[in-house]
Structure 1
C-alpha cells in the first residue's frame, strides 16, 4: 500500500518533474532535453551488440561515475565480454561516462521512478543484476527488480544519521526498499548498522570500505599534471621538480554560488602576500561557468578560461572544462574542496589527496563523513570556518613549503591506508554474475 501511495504521488507531481527537468534545467543545460524518452523507460534495445544480459550500474552524477570508474574498469578486465550499462541522472554524469569509458559500455538515463517507466526499462534491458552506487534507493526500481528476481546490489553504501531519520519517517516505504536489497556493501560498520536498524537483514550486510579510496593516478594523468605544472609556471624553462616552488598554486574545486565569491575574496588576501599566486577555480556545475566568468570580469583580477587554452600568467584560471579536475588538483600546491563553506555537504577530497596534494575544507562535510574524519585525523586535511580563515591557511602554506608538502604526503598516506574496497566489492559482484553461456 505504501508503494501505491508513493507511485500515485509521483504521478500526481509528474508535470512538475517534467517542467523542472525539461524547461528549467533544460534552459540552463540543453543536455537535460536530450534523450528525454529515456526518463520514461524508452531505452534503446540496440544498446548492446550481443544478447548477453547486461550488468547495470547506476551512478547518480559525476561524483559517483568517478568513484565507480576504477571498480567498473577492474570488472571489465576480469570479464572482457561482460555487457555493462551505466545509468545516471544528469547530462554531466552522462558526459563523464562517455569520456571515461568511450564505447566500452552502454549509457542511458535511469527512468524517473514511475512504476510503468521502471517496468519498461527492466523489460527492455533484462539486466542480470543491478548495482546501485551509494544511496540512490528508488522504491519502484528496487521493488520491481526484486519481484523479477533481479539481484539488487547496493555498493559503496553510506547512510548518515540525518538520512536515516528521513527514511524512518516513511518506515513502510523504507521496509520495502530494505526487503528488496539482495546484498549491501557499506563503507563502515556504523553505516551498516543504520541500514540494519531500518530493516535490512543482517546477513545481507557486508563492510567493504569505500571504493573512493581506491584511486590511483594513471601514467596518463601524471603526464598531464607535469604538462599543467609547466603551463602554469612563471618561468617556462623551470625543471618540473621545482615548478611549484616559484609560485603558489591552489585549486578551488567544485565550488557553488556564494562560495565562488568567498574563494575569490580569500585569493585577494593571498595576493597581498604572494603577488604571483595562482587560483584555479572549478565551479561544480557547468551552468556556473558563465556566472563565474562574469564575477571575474567585474573583479580586479586578471583571468583566463581553461577552455580557451590561452593562459598567460593571469592571477586566476577559470576551469570551465569537464573531466580535468583531478589533474588540476595534481598541478597545485594545495586544494580547497567546495560545497563546504556553505551547507552543501562537501565533495570528494580524495581526488586531490591521491595526487599528494593536501586539502582545505569548510566545516560542512556531511556528504563525506566516511572520509573526512580519517583524513583530518591523519593530518591530510585542515578545516577552515570562513573565507578569512581560508586566506590565513593559504598564506601560511604559501610561506611554509615544507608544511604544505607534509599535508600532501599525509593526505596520500590516508588514501593508501584505506584502499582495498574494490577487490572486496568485486568478490561480491562476481557471485551474482550469470555463468558464461
Structure 2
C-alpha cells in the first residue's frame, strides 16, 4: 500500500506543477516550498527546544492558536515552528507573532521528512485535527519524538476504521497521545485499541472566547449599532446574499445590516453594492455613518470576528454550498445564529440548533420568518442569545487541559 500512497503523493505534486501554469494558489504552493530546508535551518540553533505545530489551513490554525499562545506564555523557553499545507493558511499567517518561524510543509516523501526533522532541534510535534501524513508520522516515531493530535474528531466512516483501512490505521499508532473533541471519538479509538486518549473539547471555543475579551473599538460602528437592531452576516456567498437581500427589502428600514462576504474581489464587492443600494463600504467610513445608510459592507480581511460585538443576530454563510463557516465567532457574543441547510457535519451547529440558539433555513422566506420572530420578540431573542453565549462558555477550557498535559512532558 505504501507504494500506492507514494505514487499518489507524486501525482498530486505533478498536478500542482501543471495547474500552476494558470492557478495562482498552485504557484504559491510551489514557490513557498522552494529552499525550505535552508530557511528552517537558519531560524534555530542547536541549543533550541522546538515544538512543531502543523495545520492544514486557516481553520485548523484557529484550533491550534490557543494552544500556541498558552505555550508561549507558560513555556516561554520553547520555540515554535508553525507549518501549513495550503496557501490560504500560510499567506494569512506567515507573520504570526507567536511563532518563531512559519513555513509551508514540504511534500510528504521519505527523503523530505528525514531531511525536515534534521533541519532543526525537534522536541515535540502537534498536528491539528485532520493531519495524517504517513512519512512524517513514521519518521517522527522512528526518532522517538513525542507527537500529539489536538482537537481530533473521529467518526466510524473514516478509513482508519473500515475493514479495508488496516494500512491507514498505522498512521494512528504513531501518535503519543490524542486530544479529542468528544466522547464519541474516545470510544471509537478505544474500540480499536487506542487507550492514549483524552477528551478535551474543541479549542476553537477558547479562541472565540478570547476574541470577545479583546479590546476592539470602532466608533463609527458603535454609533451605527447603538439603539438599533443589527443583523450581521458573515462569510457570505452569492446565494446567501440573495436571501439577505430579500430579507432586507422586507424588514423595517430601521434595521441595520453589516455584511462581510467571503469573497472580496472587486467584482463581487461591486455586485453587493449594486444589490444593496443604501450601502457604505467599510473602507469608506470617515467619522460617523450617515443615518440613511442601512448596510455596511466589510471589504477587508480579518475584521469579522471582532464585528459580531455590534450585532443583535447573525447569519453565517456557506450553508447552501459545501458547509457553513465559523458560527462560534458569533455565538460567543451571545448572538442567535442563522445558516443554510448544510450544517449537520458541524457538531456545534447541530447542538446549538437542538438548544434553540441557532436556526437553519432552506429558503429566503424561512430566513425572513426567523428574523421577524427573533427581532419582534425581545424575550425570545434574549433567550436565544443567552443560549448561544452560555454554550460557548460551557465548552471552553480545552486548551488548559492540553497545556497541563504538555507541561508534564516539556
The number of aligned residues is: 406
Q: Which moved more, 1:187-196 or 1:417-426?
A: 187-196
Match for residue 181 of structure 1? 175
1:299 aligns with 2:293: no
- What are the equivalent positions in structure 2 for 1:214-253 lying under 5 Å apart? 214=206, 215-217=208-210, 221-224=214-217, 227=219, 229-233=221-225, 243=226, 245-246=227-228, 248-253=229-234
Distance 1:169 1:87, change over 3 A: farther
Q: Does 1:203 align with 2:195?
A: yes
Give how far 1:261 is off: 2.9
Shift of 1:220: 6.7
How far residue 64 of structure 1 moved from its aligned partner, in angstroms, is 2.1
Q: Which moved more, 1:147-156 or 1:290-299?
A: 290-299
Q: Deviations over 1:195-217 (max 9, x none)?
A: 445x4x32212211111222424
2:118 to 118, 123, 134: 123
Return the offset for 1:22: 7.0
Q: Please tell me whether residue 147 in structure 1 is matched to residue 142 in structure 2.
A: yes
Q: Distance in 1 between matches of 2:316 and 2:243?
A: 16
Cα shift at 1:355: 1.4
Q: Is residue 233 of structure 2 the alignment partner of residue 255 of structure 1?
A: no
Counterpart Cα distance in 1 of 2:249 and 2:266: 24
Bigger drift between 11-20 and 132-141 goes to: 11-20
Coordinate RMSD, CA, aligned: 2.8
Distance 1:368 1:206, change over 3 A: same
Alignment TM-score, normalising by the size of structure 2: 0.88
1:348 is aligned to 2:355: no
Aligned to 1:385: 362
Find the counterpart in structure 1 of residue 261 from structure 2. 283
On the 8 A contact 1:196/1:202 being kept in 2, the answer is yes
Could you tell me which runs of 5 or more consecutive residues in structure 1 were left unpaired when the two chains were aligned: 234-242
CA contact (8 A) 1:56 1:129 kept: yes
In structure 2, what is the Cα distance between the partners aligned to 1:391 and 1:37?
51
The answer for the alignment partner of 2:64 in structure 1 is 68
SS in 1 for 2:334: coil
TM-score, structure 1 as length reference: 0.83
**What CA distance in whole angstroms lies between the structure 2 residues aligned with 1:67 and 1:300?**
34
Identify the match of residue 310 of structure 2 among 312, 317, 331: 331
Contact 1:114/1:140 (8 A) holds in 2: yes
C-alpha contact 2:152 2:180 (8 A) present in aligned 1: yes
CA distance in 1, matches of 2:250, 2:38: 56
